[in-house]
């Protein structure tokens, strides 16, 4: 029985979030500049989005650029911004062929104008597609999202605060809680990623560096998720 056949026997996670870690280390191991790792990582991201859509995942959130990543060298940050701006538009046929909707979470106004415009245009161009929604976390930090939601609430002057009306002020309110959170690269931490939405996520930490991560690695993580007993605080 193939991995896909095994997966099909049980419900798949509705929302999978991935910390795509290890691009720089992968490049270093091969004697390449870090930028080569990011370029290779982009190709892997496309394969995994497509694989997730194939098994019926509704949302996949990819940690693309964090609020802390601005601390990296000017050269690397510039390359990443250009990569995002260039490839989001260039991959439209890929989105169309696979019916992928694109969404964004993160502090949009803190990005270069070219990147902002590209993100908005891509979301608009893909809004009527019927497949998986790929949520790109760009200039994203979990604490930052929560703080910005609080600022929105202060302006609205809501008297009775609860989880529902609080979360409606997040960057993409329709995004459900994470079912499965995967981190590649061997590190075992959240790194400020979807702190609210990951509250009851099942965690999967793998040693494989992101550019070496395959569809079968992804399917194995989903199979592991299907074997877990999620109690959400109950018995």
Where in the sequence numbering do the catalytic residues fall? 21, 69
Q: What is the DSSP letter of 110?
A: G
Q: What is the DSSP letter of 100?
A: -
How far is the C-alpha of 40 from the C-alpha of 87, rounded, in Å? 13
- Cα–Cα distance list, 4 to 24, 30, 58 (Å): 31, 32, 17
Count other Cβ atoms within 10 Å, centred on residue 196. Answer: 16
How far is the C-alpha of 220 from the C-alpha of 214, rounded, in Å? 10
The DSSP H or E segment spanning 19 is strand 15-19
- How far does CA 231 lie from the centroid of its chain? 25
Q: At what angle do helices 215-226 and 34-54 cross, to 10 degrees?
A: 50
Closest alpha carbon to 208 in 41, 52, 54: 41
């Amino acid at each position: 029985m193939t991995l896909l056949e095994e997966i099909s026997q049980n419900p798949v996670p509705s929302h999978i979030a991935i910390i795509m870690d290890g691009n720089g280390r992968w490049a270093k191991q091969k004697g390449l500049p870090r930028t080569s790792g990011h370029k290779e990582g982009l190709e892997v991201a496309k394969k995994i989005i497509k694989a997730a859509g194939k098994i019926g995942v509704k949302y996949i959130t990819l940690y693309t650029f964090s609020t802390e990543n601005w601390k990296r060298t000017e050269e690397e940050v510039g390359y990443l911004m250009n990569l995002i701006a260039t490839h989001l538009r260039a991959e439209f046929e890929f989105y169309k062929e696979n019916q992928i909707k694109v969404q964004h979470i993160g502090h949009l106004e803190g990005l270069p104008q070219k990147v902002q415009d590209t993100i908005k245009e891509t979301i608009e161009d893909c809004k009527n597609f019927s497949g998986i929604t790929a949520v790109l976390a760009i200039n994203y930090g979990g604490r930052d999202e929560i703080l910005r939601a609080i600022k929105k609430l202060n302006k609205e002057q809501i008297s009775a605060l609860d989880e529902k009306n609080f979360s409606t002020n997040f960057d993409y309110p329709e995004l459900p809680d994470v079912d499965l959170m995967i981190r590649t690269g061997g590190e075992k931490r959240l790194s400020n990623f979807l702190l609210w939405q990951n509250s009851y996520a099942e965690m999967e930490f793998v040693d494989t560096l992101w550019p070496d991560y395959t569809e079968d690695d992804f399917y194995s993580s989903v199979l592991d998720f299907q074997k877990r007993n999620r109690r959400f605080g109950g018995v």
